[in-house]
Amino acid sequence: MAAGERIVLHVDMDAFYAAIEQRDEPRLRGKPVIVGGPSRRGVVSTASYEARPFGVHSAMPMSRALALCPNAIVVTPRMGRYLEVSEQVMATLDDFSPLVEPLSLDEAFLDMTGSERLFGPPEAMADAIRKAIVARTGLTASVGAAANKFLAKLASDLNKPDGVTIVPRGREAEFIAPLPVRRLWGVGPKSAERIAKLGLRTIGDVARAELGWLRRRLGASYAEHLWALANARDDRPVDASGERKSLGSETTLEWDVRGRNAVEPILRRQCERVARGLRETRLVAGGVRVKLRYSRGFVLATRQAKLDAPADDSRSLFTRAAELLERLDLDAPIRLVGAAAFDLAAAGAGQAPLFAERATKDGNRERAMDEIRARFGDKIDYAD
């Protein structure tokens, strides 16, 4: 691989959900806006820049957010809307490179290697992209440009909002050296603590550490990964294939439930949503996973199993999911119920003919229901 030759951009929309709400609703402009679940157990999804000085940030419990910023306007997420805008943003990015890897609704990597003659140097690329996004959506984005994904992602965060950061070529390692270890992509609270106990505080500290020593303390593969990143090396390609590995649906209940009779109908509903998601994306699942979170200790438990045949109908998913429920404690108070499909494959591919027929029987019926929903709307499901 021709290391050092790549140009990778990371595009990150600024306070995406909140910015969309402010764009769509003028009375929200200039005010602290918190997008998030309004329920008892809701958390902040996105806080507008007006709310952030109060200490409000993503993943914070809504109750705490409102204690910090009592005047904030809480908006219930409109995921369908955010998805629409996201598609516009991604379509805009497609005009700049054939290699676009969305990471979520609001951020993506672009491999711009070899595009300098078309768009100029990285600064010009970043400016052109930001201009195109504003023109198309009225929203701002921050962009990082560098020789690899890790550096580009780190950079896009350094001049937010509405900013550009270019990591200078050939001086990458010294550029990131003063930053705290927590800035390494993949180092969260737990790992940060472990690393701090080793006496390493900055990325430069990790980069200068002796690799053998680091291996013995953090495990070989994690140590090697961190050490490479700290030395500004990251060979991972921009992957535009878009293949998904799993598809799930889960819900945190307003009030705890217990007992099979209470859990099963909720699980059925999650299976229905997963099955519909599979059909919409033309996928079939090879297995299903059940997820419960207990109130006591916030403990998460999962059970998974393969299906007899790949399926995209809720009955197949739910039948197996209900069996898995038998291997879980249903007597303790439960706060979350979820289902997920895994071992995904393109619908119609790789199925034995006998199985294919059986697998699609329920699928066909549910597909007909999908069409009716599409034509007349589905009051029940679009309510949440």
Partner DNA sequence: TCTGGGGTCCTAGGACCC
Considering only 58, 76, 140, 202, the residue that binds DNA (CB under 7 A) is 58
Q: Of 305, 284, 306, 304, nearest to 359 (Cα)?
A: 284
- Min dist CB 7 to DNA, Å, is 20
- The span of 21-29, 62-70, 197-205, 226-234 binding DNA (CB under 7 A) equals 62-70
Catalytic entry in 21, 50, 101, 107 = 107
Q: How far is the CB of 313 from DNA (least distance, A)?
A: 17
Using the rule CB under 7 A, which residue among 30, 114, 161, 219 binds DNA?
219
C-beta of 171: minimal distance to DNA in Å? 23
Does position 88 interact with DNA (CB under 7 A)? The reply is no
For the question of residue 243 being annotated catalytic, the response is no
We find the least distance from the C-beta atom of residue 72 to DNA, in angstroms, to be 15
Q: Are 362 and 278 in contact (CB under 8 A)?
A: no
Token pair in block for residue 216: 């013995």
Q: Which is nearer to DNA, 115 or 183 (CB)?
A: 183
Binding range to DNA, per CB under 7 A, among 103-111, 128-136, 345-353, 360-368? 103-111
CA distance 140 to 163: 9
Could you say which of 70, 189, 199, 353 contacts DNA (CB under 7 A)?
Answer: 189
Tokens of 7: 């140009």
Identify residues 304-323 at the interface with DNA (CB under 7 A).
304-306
Q: Which of residues 128-147 bind DNA (CB under 7 A)?
A: none
Q: Which stretch binds DNA (CB under 7 A): 42-50, 84-92, 118-126, 260-268?
A: 42-50
Identity of the residue, 81 or 306, whose beta carbon is nearer to DNA in the bound complex: 306
Q: Near DNA by CB under 7 A, which window of 82-90, 131-139, 182-190, 363-371?
A: 182-190
Between 67 and 91, whose beta carbon lies closer to DNA? 67
CA 313 to chain centre: 25
**C-beta of 115 vs 234, nearer to DNA:** 234
**In this chain, which of 222, 233, 332, 370 binds DNA, going by CB under 7 A?**
222
* Contact criterion met (CB below 8 Å) for 148 and 234: yes
Smallest gap from Cβ 117 to DNA, in A, equals 31
| 211 closest CA partner among 232, 229, 227 | 227
Spatial strand order in the sheet of 44-47: 44-47, 33-36, 73-75
195 half-sphere exposure, CB direction, 13 A CA radius:
26
Pairing of strands 107-111, 8-13: antiparallel
**Inter-residue contact 275 to 366 (CB < 8 Å):** yes
Q: How far apart are CA 283 and CA 341, in angstroms?
A: 10
Alpha-carbon gap, residue 111 to 114, rounded angstroms: 9
What residues are paired with 302 via a beta bridge? Answer: 291
Rounded to whole angstroms, how far apart are CA atoms 48 and 203?
Answer: 30
Residue range at the interface with DNA (CB under 7 A); choices 1-9, 93-101, 335-343, 348-356: 335-343
Contact between 41 and DNA per CB under 7 A: yes
Strands of 123-274 (E only): list them: 141-146, 164-166, 246-257
- Told to check if 251 binds DNA by CB under 7 A, we report yes
Our finding on whether 192 is near DNA (CB under 7 A) is yes
Strand partners, 13: 141
By CB under 7 A, residue 102 contacts DNA: no
Residue type, 293: R
Q: With residue 299 as reference, give the H or E element that holds it.
A: none
The smaller minimum CB distance to DNA, of residues 115 and 270, is found at: 270
Regarding 202 and contact with DNA (CB under 7 A), the answer is no
Q: Residue 100 and residue 276: Cα distance in Å, rounded?
A: 27
Q: Provide, rounded to whole angstroms, the least separation between the CB of residue 118 and DNA.
A: 28
The one segment of 90-98, 111-119, 187-195, 358-366 that binds DNA by CB under 7 A: 187-195
Query: Tokens in use for 268?
Result: 């059925």
| Signed CA dihedral, 80, 373, 271, 305: sign only | negative
CB distance 301 to 332 below 8 Å: no
Which residues of the shown chain bind DNA in the complex (CB under 7 A)?
37, 40-43, 45, 58-59, 61, 63-64, 67, 103-104, 106-107, 153, 185-192, 219, 221-222, 244-252, 273, 277, 287, 289, 298-306, 327, 335-336, 338, 340
The residues that are catalytic are 107
